[in-house]
Amino acid sequence: MGALSRLLDLSDNDLMDLLLARKEPEGDLDSPEVHRLLEMLRNV
């Protein structure tokens, strides 16, 4: 499954916490692809 799909499967609150860097990906989400995507989205 792609990084974007994994992020979009999260609840709204969990996704916002990741996008606003209130927390970092854990468990299944802790992959280089997810980190790279979050970095790009945070810099928009």
Q: Can you give the chain as a three-state secondary structure string?
A: CCHHHHHHCCCHHHHHHHHCCCCCCCHHHCCHHHHHHHHHHHCC
pLDDT in tens, 1-44: 799 999 999 999 999 999 999 999 999 999 999 999 999 999 99
Place of tokens 């994994």: 6
